[in-house]
Each structure stands twice: as C-alpha cells, then as structure tokens.
Amino acid sequence: MDDYKQIPPIIASINQYCPEHDKKYQLYCSQHEQLCCPLCIITNHKKCDLLAIDEIVKTSRNSALFEIMEQNLKEMKNNIDRIVEDRRQNLEIIKQQREGFQTDIKEMRAKINIHLDKLEQEIQQDLQAAEQKVMSQINRFVQKVSDHEKTIDELQNNIAATKRFATDLQTFFGGKMFEAKIQEEEKFMTSLIEDSGLQQIHLQCKLDNKMSDILSMTKIGEISVTTKPSTISMTTDREKQAQKRIPTISKTINDINLTLLKQFEISKK
Ligand SMILES: [Zn+2]
Ligand SMILES: [Zn+2]
C-alpha cells in the first residue's frame, strides 16, 4: 500500500484502459505514438503499424533504458555540480582580480606620492637657491653703494672742517681737491642709473602643466568586464551512445518514456 503511494502520480495515471471506449489497451501505434484498444484500431489506426503491448512491455523491464536514463540523470547532476563549481571558481577569480587591482591602485598612488614629494623637495631647494643667488647679488651692490656713502661722509666732514679751521690757501686748494672728488662721486652716482644692479629682480616659478592636469583628471582608470569562452566541458555524448545501445524493438518504448520524461520535467517546474 505504502509502496504504491511512492509511484509518481504521472506514472500512476497511466491507465491500462482506454478512457474513450472503456476497453483494455492491446496494441501500440508507433506512427501516432498512442496506446490503442481494439475499438481505437478500427476507428483511427487501420493502416498503422501496430505492436503488441505484451511484446513491448516484456522488453521494457529488461532493456537498458532505465539504466541509461538513470545514468543520464546522474551525469546531468554531475554537470550541474561542475557548473556550480566552475561559477564558484569564477567568483573566486573575480575576487582575486578585484583585490589585485585595489593593490595596484594603492601602489600607484604611493609611488606618485613619493615621486611628487621628491619633486617638491627639489623645487623648494631650487627656489631657496635662486633667492640666495639674487640676495647676495643685491647685497654686494648695496655694499658697493655703502662704501661710497662712507667716502661722501668723509668729504662732508673734511669740507666742514676745512671751512672752519683751514687757512685761505688751504681752503683754496682744498676746494679744488674736494671738487674733483665730488665729481668722481657724481660720476659713480650717474653710473648707477645704467648699472644692472638697480634693476628690479623677480623670481619666477611656473608650475608644470602636468601638475594642474592631475587636478583636472576625473578618474584614475576605467573598470570594464570582459568575457572569455567557457572552459567547462559537459558530457552530452551519452545520449547518442545510449540510442545506439537500445535494441530496435524497444525504440518505440524509448520514445514513450522520453515523452513522459519531458512532461514530467515540465510539470515539475
Ligand atoms: Zn479505444
Ligand atoms: Zn496509428
């Protein structure tokens, strides 16, 4: 009783009796793929090739069909297992690739940082050196001018002292000497106007365009997904092999069972 319940409903529903004529099926029509009762034959299958059900049924239990079907299902499950494993491995590869690219990006950033630090240090030093150079240039010039200020101070003092304390003769000749010296100093003062030492000196620092290019960058890279042909191979040859092994007489049974199997699959979904 319980064993009977284990039979799937689609099998249990295969009736031995023709529902149309209420007679027992006796023959199988391979053209129409139908079980026929004597009345079916008279009405619809007069010219068909008919096989005795007893003959067909006898071979079905002994035939390799069920074994082959079971083997087919087993292989389908194997295939599914391999597909799932293959997809799992693909996910693992994707994860590794994502991690690898993340490391690449980080490493590239670190390299850029180190490189920019080095370049910045260099240009800072160059700036210092450039300032240092013009600073000593200006200082040397100021020193030269200051030296002349001392000469002028001396002349002022000498002239004042001469005015106050010298004799007329001394004042006369001294005045000529002072005049010559003042002319020399005036010459020097005029020379300063043409001297490059009075030019305005400016530092220039033009940053490389590539620096501002970095700021106008909108992304570091592109992410894309590519596909390659599958490397998984499925065992599908079994079907062809199976058909070769089925004896000719039971080929019709094979057909019945295959249609049933198809229906079964559909109803399962
Ligand atoms: Zn019938
Ligand atoms: Zn027929």
Which pLDDT tens digit goes with each residue over 64-81? 778 888 899 999 999 999
Ligand nearest to the CA of 30: 2
Phi, psi of 247 (to 5 degrees): -65, 150
Gap from CA of 47 to ligand 1 centroid (Å): 16
Residue 217 token pair: 């960058």
**Angle (CA) 241 233 87, round 5°:** 140
Total-model pTM: 0.57
Contacts of 145 (CB under 8 A, 6+ apart): 192
Cβ atoms of 197 and 141 closer than 8 Å: yes
DSSP single-letter state for residue 17: B
Gap from CA of 51 to ligand 2 centroid (Å): 10
Q: What is the mean pLDDT of residues 218-223?
A: 92
Candidates 163, 192, 195; CA nearest to 178 is 163
Residue 109 token pair: 């950033």
Q: Which of 70-74, 143-147, 155-159, 265-269 has the lowest mean pLDDT?
A: 265-269
Q: What is the mean pLDDT of residues 196-207?
A: 91
- pLDDT band of residue 13 (cuts 50, 70, 90) is confident
Cβ atoms of 158 and 182 closer than 8 Å: no
The one-letter amino acid at 89: Q
Gap from CA of 216 to ligand 2 centroid (Å): 80
- pLDDT band of residue 253 (cuts 50, 70, 90) is very low
CA–CA dist 12, 5 (Å, integer) = 9
DSSP single-letter state for residue 63: S
> Residue holding tokens 């129409």?
32
Q: How many CA atoms lie within 13 A of 64 on its CB side?
A: 12
Cβ atoms of 256 and 82 closer than 8 Å: no
Residues with CB under 5 A from ligand 1 (ion): 18, 20-21, 37, 39-40
> Distances from the Cα of 42 to the Cαs of 28, 37, 45, 134, in angstroms?
13, 9, 6, 122
